[in-house]
Amino acid sequence: MRYAPPASTAFPVLRISQEGISAEGSFAETQASYLRPDPRLVKKLDSLLSEKKIGIVAHFYMDPELQGVLASCKHPHVFVSDSLLMADRAVEMAREGARSIIVLGVDFMSENVRAMLDAAGFEDVPVYRAAEEEIGCSLAESAETEAYRAYLEEAARNAPALHVVYINTSLQTKAEAQTIVPTITCTSSNVVKTVLTAAAELPELNIFFGPDTYMGENLESLFRSLSQLDDAAIKTVHPAHDRESIARLLERFHYFREGSCVVHHLFGDDVVRRVRAEHADAYITAHLEVPGGMFALALEAETRGRGIVGSTSNILRFILEKVDEAIAEGRSEKLEFILGTEAGMITPIVRGVEERLAKVEGEAPTVEIVFPVATGAMAATGDRTLPVVPGVAAGDGCSVSGGCVTCPHMKMNNLHSLLTIAERIDQESDESMSGLHPESYEGTISGVRIAELGARPILHMRDFQRSGALSEGLHAEILGKSSLVQAG
């Protein structure tokens, strides 16, 4: 029997056309309401940033009100991206004269920015968070448990081993991991290449990925799919691999089984079933962190050129490329995209689509962004610092049956906080603003500063991105650890 929910439970939709923006469903209407920010607020923030030479790096998952204002600022040192590029751009801003950096994200992001500025020689450039309270992350916290330490100790006993840790973890986690087993960070956009390259360079290597369970499951599923292809097809994904080497990788690939992001956790079976039934002709996008059902749906669509599985940047690029193709071919039909990640992505998507449609003479396509949310919503907590959390309540949002599309931790970053911090900079002493600084991690492990140890896996990733290969230093760590285990 065909699944047919009542019309009142239709997914929220935000529509972008040459005539403007429209929305269906209260969730989409809320997202749309902030895309045209108050020009007075934009002017005020722009003035403060320019006058005080403040740089801002923000994550795509910021709330639409804040992103709407940031996108309208003319100040050159405002940058919204995924977590990988935030730290890189902060370093560039410091080189270009920014005297301080405000990070709009969760705490591990500001810690990464601090570590990379220090590594680049900009220890004197202060970094500020958006709140004095902890801005947590359920995924990062899952790597701070005894279970994760036991997982790392298991990795160390299975040398040669490499720990591939998702960048969405604290510097403390990265530092402690580095002391147990050689560690390299990754992001959702480079994790596949990182694992495949490591396995190709060291065929006997045991690879331990963590802490994101869904991403680990999805990677294993992806590698199993690769193992079913012929050698020529596999080499288009990675030239050093074939069916035999992928089979060997699958025997040595491990992932942590107890870590998840509160947002992506709820893209469940209910949502997948509804997407199949109600949006069969849509393009499907999914972050690598979503559960297996949503991942499989997007991966299936990707094989047909109708979807993408990847990072936030990959998703944004895919949508804009499809819009470009339709414009180039003179097509004016509706392009429908399922947004399988956090709803904060809507702001850069809308900006990019609007820029393209504005250049079209004559008819242009209409773009619909579908938020695949369940009929539950965000539940109010009454807490000022964390006013909403994923929960079951009336209206659009997220529920235990699938489709959580907004991160409550990210929403602790807000426009009022940003304006207040910008006003305080240069008006108050750095000591009085110390509660806004990222955790400094002044302690040591085995005589080495935690901040230095925690930065090492990030620098290994930087080396990999520059050269396309694991660094000699990381090779030495892996082989040295293996020798110690064998000698023991």
pLDDT band at 209 (very low <50, low <70, confident <90, very high): very high
Q: What pLDDT sits at residue 197? A: 97
Q: How far apart are CA 216 and CA 256, in angstroms?
A: 7
Look at 309 and 326; give whichever has higher pLDDT. Answer: 326
CA–chain centroid gap for 170, Å, is 14
Q: Is the pLDDT of residue 389 over 70?
A: no
Q: Does the pLDDT value for residue 482 go beyond 80?
A: no
Least confident span in 53-62, 174-183, 317-326, 396-405: 396-405
Cα–Cα distance measured from residue 216 to residue 22, given in angstroms and rounded to the nearest whole number: 37
The residue type at 215: M
- 266 contact partners, CB below 8 Å, separation of at least 6: 374, 390, 398, 399, 400, 402, 403, 404
The pLDDT assigned to 106 comes to 83
CA distance 149 to 169: 14
Residue 483 pLDDT class (50, 70, 90 cuts): low
Q: Indicate the range of 273-287, 304-318, 387-401 predicted with least confidence.
A: 387-401
Tell me the one-letter amino acid at 277: A
- The pLDDT value recorded for residue 140 is 66
Mean predicted confidence (pLDDT) in 451-472 = 92
Q: Which residues contact 369 (CB under 8 A, 6 or more apart)?
A: 13, 14, 15, 16, 337, 339, 346, 349, 350
H/E run at residue 208: strand 206-210
Q: Tens of pLDDT along 127-159? A: 998 877 776 566 667 777 899 999 999 999 999
Look over the chain and give the mean of its residue pLDDT values, rounded to a whole number. Answer: 82
The pTM assigned to this predicted structure is 0.69
Question: Which of 160-174, 209-223, 241-255, 396-410 is the least confident region?
Answer: 396-410
> What is d(CA 479, CA 488) in angstroms, rounded to the nearest whole number?
14
Please give the C-alpha separations between residue 199 and each of 91, 196, 241, 471, in angstroms, as whole numbers: 31, 5, 9, 14
Which has more pLDDT, 388 or 346? 346
Question: Residues 320-359, buried b or exposed e (16+ Cβ, 10 A)?
Answer: bebbeebbeeeeeeebbbbbbbbbbbbbbbbbbbbebbee
Reduce the DSSP state of residue 377 to 3 states and report it: strand
Q: Is the pLDDT of residue 362 over 60?
A: yes
The whole-number pLDDT of residue 61 equals: 73
Query: What percentage of the chain carries pLDDT values higher than 70?
Result: 83
Sheet of 366-370: strands edge to edge? 20-24, 13-17, 366-370, 334-340, 283-287, 307-310
Res. 207: pLDDT tops 80: yes
pLDDT class of 412 with cuts at 50, 70, 90: low
| Whether the predicted pLDDT of 439 surpasses 60 | yes
Q: Which residues contact 420 (CB under 8 A, 6 or more apart)?
A: none
Rounded distance, CA 473 to CA 32, Å?
48
pLDDT greater than 50 at residue 257: yes
pLDDT > 90: what percent of the chain?
A: 44
pLDDT top residue among 342 and 299: 299
pLDDT at 409 (0 to 100): 57
Mean pLDDT within 372-377: 54
pLDDT at 5: 39
* CB 312 within 8 Å of CB 264: no
| Distance between first and last Cα of the chain | 62
List, in sequence order, the alpha helices (H) in 169-239. Answer: 171-180, 191-201, 213-227, 231-237
Q: Which residue has the higher pLDDT, 167 or 207?
A: 207
Q: Which two tokens stand for residue 419?
A: 């304006």
Q: What digits encode the pLDDT tens for the residues 76-118?
A: 999 988 777 888 899 999 999 999 999 998 888 888 899 889 9
- Asked if 100 contacts 89 with a C-beta cutoff of 8 angstroms, the reply is no
Higher pLDDT, 414 or 358: 358
Answer positive or negative: Cα dihedral of 463, 480, 203, 260: negative
What does the pLDDT average to over 118-130?
A: 92
- 392 vs 382, higher pLDDT: 382
pLDDT, tens only, 60-81? 777 677 878 888 899 999 998 8
